[in-house]
Structure 1
Amino acid sequence: MKVGLVDDRSFDLDKLQAIVSSIEGIEIVFSTLSAEEAYEHIKKKTIDLLIADIEMPNLSGYEIADIIHSHALNIFVIFVTGNSGYAVHAYELNVHDYIMKPYTKERLIKSVERLKEKSKKNDIAGRLYIKQKNDIHIIQKKDIIFIERSGRSSTIYTTTTEIKTYLTLNELEGELRERDFIRSHRSFIINIQYIKNFSLYAKNSYMVAFDGIEEQAMITKDKVDYLQQYYF
């Protein structure tokens, strides 16, 4: 699990780093006094977990968590703070844990270990099983860029390959209930995490370009408006 640490007090940051670095299976990607620096890493999606103080200059930990939540980024958050006033709002943002300073080493380790177990379960649930004659393809849902329906088959475009299936988009949509996936058009399901840009195609539709792939999908104007309101 890749972890980022941010606290504007050196003593508290050193304590975080000492504890987290002792946990098996953890890689600390960054440890910083700057919330702005943490935000730059988050935009690049370099971590699975952010452990952050809340009250910091310029950009607060709460604001960073709000960005993670509103953009549906697949990053867990643990707050380690001396301020109890944000607790209710933190859980509205689906924060994994809210730890009050001063805290014990055991308290933080227990929280991270609980998250690791939760992630293992999510990893199993986060796979799509596609039967194809004598083969079964196991696809990580997070690697799916978009799905296109053409004729009697559907093509699943992933970061590494293309897989055809006779499952309908309705059936696939039922398997992809994660917030990242939307039915953008009657013939397409797209993963919003890979969207690069929209290009006007017709009066009420756009072409969607994605990072890492040349193929494109379609999206209706109503769905673009919906994405702008609820995701971007």
Structure 2
Amino acid sequence: MMKVGLVDDRYIDLDKLTAIVGGIPDIEIVFSTTSAEEAYEHIKKETIDLLIADIEMPSLSGFELADIIHSHALSIAVIFVTANSGYAVHAFELNVHDYIMKPYPKDRLVKSIERLKEKNQSAEIAGRLYIKHKNDIHIIQKKDIIFIERSGRSSTIYTKSGSIKTYQTLNELEGELRERDFIRSHRSFIINIHYVKNFSLYAKNSYVVSFEGIKEQAMITKEKVDFLQENYF
């Protein structure tokens, strides 16, 4: 089920979006609003896979929403539906999925969403990590990995559903985790930035990282904290 958010400051255009998107199988509309500020609040609190937005809106624009999504490395695709062609080049610099000009036929939007669904299904297969440990092979969704710790001769992968040990090194695992979500925070840790709750000063050049949903903690260097603040937050 793909979760979608809709925002357009014109009621007639929002109604059209809602009618089209609501009629596509396996789609759940999480919010539908004429306020970009309200859409932003939803994005902070709720999980969506796709944002469909007008660009030129009062106060906060659809382009600014897409920029927030991109700069925070959120796993949300964006489709712009707009009457203004002037943002197209900058929009694709933000890696938006599509740029649809108003007025548009129903099939134009439906095909775009169906193309995204197919892309996501392929990414889900590619987004798995195959972990060998003794005689077992564990298959883990990369998005479920919270952090990885190297201790002694083994690595422990902490996920939302538990932990798994492997003899694969952090260098080997880091090579499999090329997504922007993961960073090598310390010589002994790889973390998924989407689960980070806070950093607590540990020593002059290092911090303890706490995560949502688990009590285990990781380490991060001051250099990597500065890098995160500059490029992600």
Smaller-chain TM-score bracket: over 0.9
Deviation of 1:40 after TM superposition, in Å, equals 1.0
State the match for 1:217 in structure 2: 218
Deviation of 1:56 after TM superposition, in Å, equals 0.7
Matched, 1:134 2:105: no
Which secondary structure state, in structure 2, belongs to the residue aligned with residue 215 of structure 1?
Answer: coil
Q: Aligned runs of 1:16-31 on 2, under 5 Å?
A: 16-31=17-32
Deviation of 1:45 after TM superposition, in Å, equals 4.3
Could you say what the CA RMSD is over the residues aligned between the two structures, in angstroms?
Answer: 0.8
State the match for 2:40 in structure 1: 39
Which whole-Å deviations, capped at 9, do the CAs of 1:133-163 have from their partners, x for residues lacking one? 3322111111101000000000000111000
Q: Distance in 2 between matches of 1:131 and 1:168?
A: 11
Which whole-Å deviations, capped at 9, do the CAs of 1:19-76 have from their partners, x for residues lacking one? 1111111111111111111111111241000000001111100000000000000000
Matched, 1:180 2:181: yes
Which whole-Å deviations, capped at 9, do the CAs of 1:70-112 have from their partners, x for residues lacking one? 0000000000000111000000000000000000000000100
Which secondary structure state, in structure 1, belongs to the residue aligned with residue 78 of structure 2?
Answer: strand
Deviation of 1:10 after TM superposition, in Å, equals 0.5
Q: Distance in 2 between matches of 1:92 and 1:18?
A: 29
Q: Percent identity?
A: 82
State the match for 1:93 in structure 2: 94
Q: Distance in 1 between matches of 2:12 and 2:32?
A: 12
Count of residue correspondences = 232
Q: Distance in 2 between matches of 1:40 and 1:47?
A: 12
Structure 1 residue runs of 4+, over 6 Å off? none
Does 41-50 or 170-179 show the bigger shift?
Answer: 41-50
Which secondary structure state, in structure 2, belongs to the residue aligned with residue 179 of structure 1?
Answer: coil
| TM-score, normalised relative to structure 1 | 0.98
State the match for 1:15 in structure 2: 16
Structure 1, unaligned runs of 5 or more: none
Which secondary structure state, in structure 2, belongs to the residue aligned with residue 38 of structure 1?
Answer: helix
Q: Distance in 2 between matches of 1:58 and 1:177?
A: 36
State the match for 1:55 in structure 2: 56
Which secondary structure state, in structure 2, belongs to the residue aligned with residue 41 of structure 1?
Answer: helix
Which secondary structure state, in structure 2, belongs to the residue aligned with residue 139 of structure 1?
Answer: strand
Which secondary structure state, in structure 2, belongs to the residue aligned with residue 8 of structure 1?
Answer: coil
Which secondary structure state, in structure 1, belongs to the residue aligned with residue 103 of structure 2?
Answer: coil
| TM-score, normalised relative to structure 2 | 0.98
Give the residue type in structure 2 aligned to 1:209. S
